[in-house]
């Protein structure tokens, strides 16, 4: 199989280069892209990428495969490269530390901005804050995010304004806490999102939805945030 | 931070892998820019046509000549697309069609309607 | 907490609402014009002028022109602040953005004043 | 016991799921003991913890490993040795085990230790060097593998995920306990499962049958 691999080592390289590699894949088996990377790394240990659980849970190995973001560990080679040539590049729009490893600081800063924790200033009850099954149901499709950054780095609005637009991953979590019946900071959370960039830079192009390895829908969550902003603003 | 770190952003490569929903949205933007520039032409034609009989004849001649006809066609096609895509956007604001499947259908539908309008306009103009 | 929609300024919510309201107005106006052109069998100067010079049509045109200006400004401002970025335009990108926005504002003024002077200048 | 060092989850080996927990995650461990550890740490922090800084010897020991890999000039690759370690552990220390195989593999592990000690790190770059990380991890994997192997060989019974074909029966008299491993001297020790209660009335320890 033909593989084109993005390489950059700040120790030695002025600018990134693309390595064209040839790899013999085992017959009759559809490997995951991460398996291909492991095979390549056995040959050339200097290839750098993040990986951990190798089953789509930890969110470490988000990369760009033939132009599309996804988790290398759960993307079959046949799906990533239906025409036989596999192109592996780092997640778009974030600074590259080395090879397929990107600097996630900007992504985490946006996540931190939306205060991804429960805020409740009332005195806690003796045991725990209860939630009805119906209210708990509202968090489904929101809490499952693994912060792999596939969505935000597939979003042109995030490419253009990574410092101002919160991005799909952060906004999904923003709505996760706006929708939580136990959270009392709804008004403050909404006020922090009201500027022209944080949430309103979303143009609903659904790149986030189409790459999310967990099948989540940040676009829908963003729509719900806008509706909440509207009903508060009028 | 490290200002010398490269950023991987090969736009043509990324654009080629984007879903139809992204292309539909990008066209919404492109048609908006076409309309913004085209409004100058529309202002000019309106000014001419409303000035007097002679002006109206000249405006009609401009629209009938190939460059003017092409401009009119491009503007009206863009308008058709921009309006249909705008309606889709408004529906999305009301949470209609916010699943990936529905959005894809919506995007194809928008493009199809615009192509229909483009053909219809071409027939009407020529 | 959230700034009221009615209070203008650089609020994303205000822009959002304004862009949609203006879109509906301009859209209806465009439909109205298309309807007029389609239903008019023979078009000449008198018919066209007659259509535009009625008071309701002058008012509608004014509303549409103002809406178009608002709609175009929000749209073009968004486009500019998306694409005129350091990544492509280097350290001087804010200067380019400034020039771009000034050109947009200039055109928008033309789009405001020109059609209004034409429509209200009719006999 | 090391004061100020906390461990929860599988690494702490509390075994709330018993010896039979093969796969899946140990959320019960995390939730129950994570909370307990948190509460304990908060309390300990309030009272103040006695700490001592690292000694020269501590630092030297830690950097010696790094220096060893950084100074390597030739030898077998990390990927090759890791593959071999994985093969050994998969073949002879899987769920179904036999004494003979385990003993011969323990010998091979000792050989592997010698080879890893002179293995080669090809990439010595400084930025996000995962090759170096994997080399250091190979050292760690070897330690864990050897501990697993030696303790498994010593436990002369079958229990849960440890099924020996030379000791097919469960032996509560001798082995109702945790296995402890002491790396210096590669010694195996025992620790009873529960401090209290010593008897489990509700669910009497009994052989599992389906």
Please tell me the predicted confidence (pLDDT) of residue D23.
Answer: 55
CB A180 within 8 Å of CB A136: no
Q: Which chains reach chain A with 3 or more Cβ–Cβ distances below 8 angstroms? A: B, C, D
State how far the Cα of B57 lies from the Cα of A152, in Å rounded to an integer: 54
CB A56 within 8 Å of CB A74: yes
Higher per-residue pLDDT: D192 or A10? A10
Please tell me the predicted confidence (pLDDT) of residue D176.
Answer: 83
> In the structure, what pLDDT confidence band is assigned to residue C9 with cuts at 50, 70 and 90?
low
Q: What is the mean pLDDT of residues A23-36?
A: 94
Nearest CA in chain D to A101: D128
What is the tens place of the pLDDT at every residue in C28-86?
Answer: 999 999 999 989 988 899 999 999 999 999 999 999 999 999 999 999 999 999 998 87
Our separate counts of H helices and E strands in chain B read: 5, 0
Question: Is B22 near chain C, with CB under 8 Å?
Answer: no
Q: What is the mean pLDDT of residues A4-15?
A: 94
Nearest CA in chain A to D123: A46
Please tell me the predicted confidence (pLDDT) of residue B58.
Answer: 96
Nearest to C79 among B29, B49, B53 (CB): B29
Residue A91 DSSP one-character state: P
Higher per-residue pLDDT: D48 or D181? D181
Residue B2: inside a domain: no
Residues of chain B in contact with residue A207, where contact means CB-CB under 8 angstroms, are 18-19, 21-22
Q: For the CA atoms of chain B, what is the radius of gyration? A: 19
Nearest CA in chain B to A200: B93
Note down the domain range covering D19: 1-53
The CA distance from A53 to the nearest CA of chain B, in Å, is 25
Mean pLDDT, chain A, integer: 96
Residue B3: inside a domain: no
Q: What is the mean pLDDT of residues C85-90?
A: 78
Question: Is B47 near chain C, with CB under 8 Å?
Answer: yes
Q: Taking 50 as the threshold, does the pLDDT of residue C116 lie above it?
A: yes
Asked if D122's CB is within 8 angstroms of A45's CB, the reply is: yes
- Check whether the bond before D32 is cis (ω within 30° of 0): no
Nearest to B100 among A91, A97, A206 (CB): A206
Asked if A157's CB is within 8 angstroms of C1's CB, the reply is: no
Do C and B touch, 3+ Cβ pairs within 8 Å? The answer is yes
Domain covering A2-102, topology: Ubiquitin-like (UB roll) (3.10.20)
Residues of chain C in contact with residue A230, where contact means CB-CB under 8 angstroms, are 5, 13, 16-17
Q: At what angle do helices C55-83 and C12-39 cross, to 10 degrees?
A: 130
> In the structure, what pLDDT confidence band is assigned to residue A174 with cuts at 50, 70 and 90?
very high
D205 and D105, same structural domain? yes
> In the structure, what pLDDT confidence band is assigned to residue D200 with cuts at 50, 70 and 90?
low
Interface test with A, best of C4, C6, C10, C13 (most A CBs within 10 A): C13
The CA distance from B99 to the nearest CA of chain A, in Å, is 7
**Residue C54 φ/ψ region, left for φ over 0, alpha for ψ in the -120 to 50 degree band, beta for the rest:** beta
Q: Which of A173, A143, A152 is nearest to A64 (CA)?
A: A152
Q: Taking 90 as the threshold, does the pLDDT of residue A148 lie above it?
A: yes
Asked if B83's CB is within 8 angstroms of C45's CB, the reply is: no
Question: Is B4 near chain C, with CB under 8 Å?
Answer: no
D108 and D87, same structural domain? yes
Asked if B7's CB is within 8 angstroms of A94's CB, the reply is: yes
Q: What is the mean pLDDT of residues D18-35?
A: 71
Nearest to C13 among A160, A188, A194 (CB): A194
D167 and D136, same structural domain? yes
State how far the Cα of C52 lies from the Cα of C33, in Å rounded to an integer: 10
Residues of chain C in contact with residue A106, where contact means CB-CB under 8 angstroms, are none
Q: Which chains reach chain D with 3 or more Cβ–Cβ distances below 8 angstroms? A: A
D72 and D33, same structural domain? no
Q: What is the mean pLDDT of residues A102-127?
A: 95
Residue D24 DSSP one-character state: S
State how far the Cα of A82 lies from the Cα of A77, in Å rounded to an integer: 8
What is the tens place of the pLDDT at every residue in D111-148?
Answer: 999 999 999 999 999 999 999 999 999 999 999 999 99
ipTM of the assembly?
A: 0.85
Residues of chain B in contact with residue C23, where contact means CB-CB under 8 angstroms, are 86, 90
Please identify among residues 111-170 of chain A the ones whose CB lies closer than 8 Å to any CB of chain C: 156-157, 160-161
Provide the CATH number for the domain around residue B39. Answer: 1.20.1300.10
pTM of the model: 0.89
Give chain D's domain count.
2
Please tell me the predicted confidence (pLDDT) of residue D205.
Answer: 67
A192-A195-A197-A199 Cα dihedral, nearest 10 degrees: 60
Nearest to C45 among B29, B32, B49 (CB): B49
Q: Which neighbouring-strand residues pair with C23?
A: none
CB atoms within 10 A of CB D190: 14
**What's the residue count for chain C?**
123
Q: Which chains reach chain B with 3 or more Cβ–Cβ distances below 8 angstroms? A: A, C
Residue B1: inside a domain: no
Note down the domain range covering B96: 20-125
Residue B10: inside a domain: no
State how far the Cα of B117 lies from the Cα of A48, in Å rounded to an integer: 51
D206 and D108, same structural domain? yes
Please tell me the predicted confidence (pLDDT) of residue C25.
Answer: 98
What is the tens place of the pLDDT at every residue in A190-208?
Answer: 999 999 999 999 999 999 9
Q: Which chains reach chain C with 3 or more Cβ–Cβ distances below 8 angstroms? A: A, B
Interface test with D, best of A35, A38, A40, A45 (most D CBs within 10 A): A45
The CA distance from A149 to the nearest CA of chain B, in Å, is 14
Tell me how many residue pairs between chain A and chain B have CB atoms under 8 A apart: 92
Q: For the CA atoms of chain A, what is the radius of gyration? A: 20
Using beta carbons and an 8 Å cutoff, which residues of D are at the interface with A? Answer: 77-80, 83, 121-123, 125-131, 134
> In the structure, what pLDDT confidence band is assigned to residue C3 with cuts at 50, 70 and 90?
very low
Residues of chain C in contact with residue B47, where contact means CB-CB under 8 angstroms, are 114, 118
Question: Is C75 near chain B, with CB under 8 Å?
Answer: yes
Residue B12: inside a domain: no
Q: Taking 50 as the threshold, does the pLDDT of residue C2 lie above it?
A: no
CB A97 within 8 Å of CB B5: yes
Burial status of residue D72 (CB atoms within 10 A of its CB: 0-12, 13-18, 19 or more): middle
Q: Which of A7, C119, C19 is nearest to B8 (CA)?
A: A7
Q: What is the mean pLDDT of residues A212-223?
A: 98
Please tell me the predicted confidence (pLDDT) of residue D178.
Answer: 83
Give chain B's domain count.
1
Name the domain boundary from D13, D32, D53: D53
What is the tens place of the pLDDT at every residue in D178-193?
Answer: 888 999 999 998 877 6
Provide the CATH number for the domain around residue D109. Answer: 1.20.58.100
Homologous superfamily of A105-233:
Alpha-helical ferredoxin (1.10.1060.10)
- The list of chain B residues with pLDDT below 70 reads 1-3
Q: Identify the structural domains of chain C with CATH numbers, from first to last.
A: 12-120 (1.20.1300.10)
State how far the Cα of D109 lies from the Cα of D115, in Å rounded to an integer: 10
């Amino acid at each position: 199989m033909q593989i084109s691999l993005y390489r950059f080592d700040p120790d030695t390289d002025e600018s990134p280069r693309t390595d064209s590699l040839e790899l013999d894949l085992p017959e009759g088996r559809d490997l995951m892209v991460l398996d291909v990377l492991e095979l390549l790394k056995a040959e050339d240990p200097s290839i750098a990428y993040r990986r951990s659980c190798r089953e789509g849970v930890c969110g470490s190995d988000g990369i760009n495969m033939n132009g599309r973001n996804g988790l290398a560990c759960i993307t079959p080679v046949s799906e990533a490269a239906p025409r036989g040539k596999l192109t592996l590049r780092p997640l778009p729009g974030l600074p590259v530390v080395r090879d397929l490893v990107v600097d996630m600081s900007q992504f985490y800063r946006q996540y931190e901005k939306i205060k991804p924790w429960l805020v409740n200033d009332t005195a806690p009850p003796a045991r725990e804050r209860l939630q009805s099954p119906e209210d708990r149901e509202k968090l489904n499709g929101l809490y499952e995010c693994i912060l792999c950054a596939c969505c935000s780095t597939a979003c042109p609005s995030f490419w253009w304004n990574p410092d101002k637009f919160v991005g799909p991953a952060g906004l999904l979590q923003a709505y996760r806490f706006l929708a939580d019946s136990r959270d009392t900071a709804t008004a403050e959370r909404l006020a922090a999102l009201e500027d022209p960039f944080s949430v309103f830079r979303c143009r609903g192009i659904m790149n986030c939805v189409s790459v999310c390895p967990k099948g989540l829908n940040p676009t829908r969550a963003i729509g719900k945030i806008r509706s909440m902003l509207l009903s508060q603003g009028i | 931070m490290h200002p010398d770190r490269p950023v991987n952003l090969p736009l043509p490569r990324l654009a080629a892998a984007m879903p139809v929903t992204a292309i539909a949205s990008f066209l919404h933007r492109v048609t908006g820019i076409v309309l913004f520039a085209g409004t100058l032409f529309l202002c000019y034609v309106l000014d001419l046509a409303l000035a007097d009989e002679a002006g109206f004849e000249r405006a009609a001649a401009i629209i009938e000549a190939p460059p003017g006809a092409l401009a009119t066609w491009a503007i009206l096609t863009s308008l058709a697309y921009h309006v249909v895509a705008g309606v889709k956007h408004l529906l999305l604001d009301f949470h209609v069609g916010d699943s990936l499947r529905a959005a894809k259908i919506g995007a194809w539908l928008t493009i199809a309607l615009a192509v229909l309008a483009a053909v219809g306009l071409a027939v009407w103009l020529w | 907490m959230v700034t009221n929609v009615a209070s203008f300024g650089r609020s994303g919510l205000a822009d959002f609402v304004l862009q949609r309201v203006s879109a509906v107005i301009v859209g209806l106006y465009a439909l109205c014009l298309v309807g007029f052109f389609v239903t008019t069998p023979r078009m000449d100067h008198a018919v066209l002028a007659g259509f535009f010079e009625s008071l309701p049509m002058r008012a509608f045109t004014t509303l549409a022109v103002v809406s178009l200006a608002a709609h175009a400004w929000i749209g073009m401002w968004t486009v500019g602040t998306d694409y005129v970025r350091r990544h492509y335009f280097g350290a001087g990108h804010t200067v380019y953005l400034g020039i771009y926005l000034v050109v947009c504002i200039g055109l928008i003024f033309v789009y405001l004043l020109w059609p209004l002077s034409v429509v209200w200048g009719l006999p | 016991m090391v004061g100020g060092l906390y461990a929860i989850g599988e690494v702490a080996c509390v075994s709330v799921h018993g010896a039979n927990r093969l796969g899946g995650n140990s959320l019960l461990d995390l939730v129950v003991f994570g909370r307990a550890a948190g509460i304990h740490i908060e309390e300990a922090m309030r009272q103040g913890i006695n700490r001592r800084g690292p000694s020269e010897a501590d630092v030297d020991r830690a950097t010696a490993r790094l220096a060893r890999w950084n100074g390597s000039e030739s030898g077998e690759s990390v990927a090759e040795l890791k593959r071999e370690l994985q093969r050994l552990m998969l073949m002879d220390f899987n769920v179904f085990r036999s004494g003979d195989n385990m003993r011969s593999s323990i010998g091979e592990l000792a050989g592997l230790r010698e080879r890893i000690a002179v293995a080669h790190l090809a990439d010595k770059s400084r930025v996000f060097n995962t090759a170096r990380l994997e080399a250091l991890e190979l050292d760690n994997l070897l330690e864990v593998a050897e501990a697993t192997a030696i303790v498994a060989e010593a436990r002369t019974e079958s229990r849960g995920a440890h099924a020996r074909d030379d000791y097919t029966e469960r032996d509560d008299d001798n082995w109702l306990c945790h296995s402890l491993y002491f790396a210096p001297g590669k010694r195996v020790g025992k620790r009873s499962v529960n401090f209290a209660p010593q008897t489990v009335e509700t669910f009497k320890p009994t052989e599992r049958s389906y």
